[in-house]
């Protein structure tokens, strides 16, 4: 069962390459994936080498399955990869242009650069509707103040990532656009009803689900009128009743980083991990704290022994993860440096990024692919 639990973890690493302890931990615990933070990325050659090193571990792992290699790449402020990777503008620029063709090509071109260096999962697009002008956490990360525009353009972004062979992950379900507090530091509390969420915040997610979205990320936001006890990321109402039963979302539900203070100031780490699985999360995300994945796996094992967590739930999560990997990660290794050199910072990508930032994109940049 430990091997099944490990596949439900995406974790951070500390540097530009794996330490022996990190590699041994990933192999021993059959870890499902890695997230790249700013501390893990330097340039194309280094990122390629790190991705190859990580994927090379699968031959020693219990399932021999490819690993998710993930990153936060939205454009604008949330942009882990630096030059010579193309510097993409924030999504608000796409919203101003209001073209699904531009949105599709933006995600496709960004995805091509990610995929070249072995990244296969992007925690994007951001589908938050920017309803509160004082919300600096989201701001220009949002496509628009209009739910319809975010839904239309966000769905095109999802399709563009998929075209580039990248697994997209829409965030921050059920919507972070109205909050004032940053969930990295505090637990935002929203007094909206489900009916209010349904007409604004949830509309882009429903559209993205129809675009065959692979992942959705649950946010650490509490809605007392909908679930008086748990924030959305730990809420059976939001994950099972809404996502699974009402919206019929069939792919993977991942939490936002479970070490954010929105949760850790209110619950202990063991409780967080177990509750996320109980509520309906399939994958747990740990970005920064090296001890957290161990605490999580130990807590889940204990909950299985104590019968506070049904083993069928853990097995179902495992099966969902493995099915998506089998379907989508058939060729997980990064491309050769020669190929990477032709893709990273491609002149058409640079022109496209500049044109989007300027607010006018020539037709030839939308239609062609590298």
Catalytic residue among 128, 214, 256, 259: 256
3-class secondary-structure state, position 90: coil
The pTM of the whole model exceeds 0.85: yes
pLDDT at residue 181 in the model: 74
3-state SS of the chain: helix, strand, coil percent to 5?
A: 50, 10, 40
pLDDT at residue 135 in the model: 84
User: What is d(CA 126, CA 91) in angstroms, rounded to the nearest whole number?
Assistant: 8
Least trusted range by pLDDT, from 15-29, 84-98, 177-191, 277-291 = 177-191
Q: Which domains, from first to last, does the chain contain?
A: 28-367 (3.20.20.300)
CA angle 48, 53, 59 (to 5 degrees): 135
- Identify the band that residue 295 occupies on the pLDDT scale cut at 50, 70 and 90: very high
Going by C-beta distance under 8 Å and a sequence separation of 6 or more, which residues neighbour residue 105? 160, 352, 365, 366
CA dihedral 156, 159, 164, 169 (to 10 degrees): 100
Going by C-beta distance under 8 Å and a sequence separation of 6 or more, which residues neighbour residue 121? 33, 68, 69, 70, 71, 166, 167, 169, 214, 215
Least trusted range by pLDDT, from 79-88, 176-185, 237-246, 317-326 = 176-185
- Does pLDDT of 173 surpass 90? yes
pLDDT in tens, 179-213: 877 778 889 999 999 999 999 999 999 999 999 99
Q: Nearest 5°: phi and psi at 9?
A: -120, 130
Beta-bridge mates of residue 70: 35, 121
- Identify the band that residue 368 occupies on the pLDDT scale cut at 50, 70 and 90: low
- Does pLDDT of 370 surpass 80? no
The crossing angle, in degrees rounded to 10, of helices 269-279 and 292-306 is: 60
Does the active-site annotation cover 186? no
Between 213 and 367, the more confident residue is 213
Least trusted range by pLDDT, from 32-36, 183-187, 240-244, 270-274 = 183-187
CA angle 251, 220, 325 (to 5 degrees): 25
- Does pLDDT of 306 surpass 70? yes
pLDDT at residue 137 in the model: 85
Q: What is the DSSP string of 176-200?
A: -TT--S-TTTS--B----HHHHHHT
Catalytic residue among 184, 291, 316, 333: 184
- Does pLDDT of 126 surpass 50? yes
pLDDT in tens, 138-154: 999 999 999 999 999 99
Q: Report yes or no: 93 and 356 within 8 Å, Cβ to Cβ.
A: yes
Q: Report yes or no: 70 and 35 within 8 Å, Cβ to Cβ.
A: yes
Q: What is the mean pLDDT of the chain?
A: 96
Quick count: other Cβ atoms within 10 Å of Cβ 194?
A: 17
- Identify the band that residue 171 occupies on the pLDDT scale cut at 50, 70 and 90: very high
Pairing of strands 78-79, 73-75: antiparallel
pLDDT in tens, 256-290: 999 999 999 999 999 999 999 999 999 999 999 99
Does the active-site annotation cover 63? no
């Amino acid at each position: 069962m430990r091997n099944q639990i490990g596949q439900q973890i995406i974790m951070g690493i500390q540097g530009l390459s794996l330490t022996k302890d990190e590699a041994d931990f990933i192999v021993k615990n059959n870890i499902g994936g890695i997230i790249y933070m700013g501390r893990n990325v330097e340039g194309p050659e280094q990122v390629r080498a790190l991705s190859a090193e990580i994927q090379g571990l699968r031959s020693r792992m219990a399932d021999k399955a490819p690993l998710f290699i993930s990153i936060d790449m939205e454009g604008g402020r949330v942009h882990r990869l630096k030059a010579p990777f193309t510097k993409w503008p924030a999504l608000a620029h796409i919203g101003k242009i209001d073209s699904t063709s531009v949105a599709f090509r933006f995600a496709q071109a960004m995805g091509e650069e990610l995929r070249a260096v072995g990244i296969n999962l992007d925690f994007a697009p951001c589908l938050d509707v920017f309803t509160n002008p004082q919300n600096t956490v989201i701001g220009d990360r949002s496509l628009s103040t209009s739910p319809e525009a975010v839904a239309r353009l966000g769905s095109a972004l999802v399709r563009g990532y998929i075209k580039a062979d990248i697994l997209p992950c829409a965030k921050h379900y059920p919507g972070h656009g109205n909050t004032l507090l940053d969930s990295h530091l505090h637990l935002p509390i929203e007094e909206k009803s489900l009916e209010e969420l349904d007409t604004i915040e949830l509309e882009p997610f429903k559209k993205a689900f129809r675009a065959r979205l692979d992942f959705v990320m649950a946010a650490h936001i509490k809605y007392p009128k909908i679930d008086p006890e748990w924030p959305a990321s730990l809420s059976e109402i939001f994950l099972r009743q809404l996502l699974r039963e009402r919206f019929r979302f069939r792919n993977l539900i991942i939490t936002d980083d479970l070490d954010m203070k929105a949760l850790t100031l209110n619950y202990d780490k063991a409780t967080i991990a177990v509750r996320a699985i109980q509520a309906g999360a399939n994958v747990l995300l740990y970005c920064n704290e090296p001890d957290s994945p161990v605490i999580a796996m130990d807590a889940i094992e204990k909950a299985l022994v104590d019968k506070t967590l049904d083993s069928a739930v853990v097995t179902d999560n495992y099966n969902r993860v493995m099915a998506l990997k089998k379907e989508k990660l058939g060729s997980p290794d990064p491309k050769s440096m020669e190929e990477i050199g032709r893709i990273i910072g491609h002149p058409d990508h640079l022109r496209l990024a500049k044109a989007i930032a300027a607010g006018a994109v020539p037709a030839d940049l939308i239609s062609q692919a590298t």
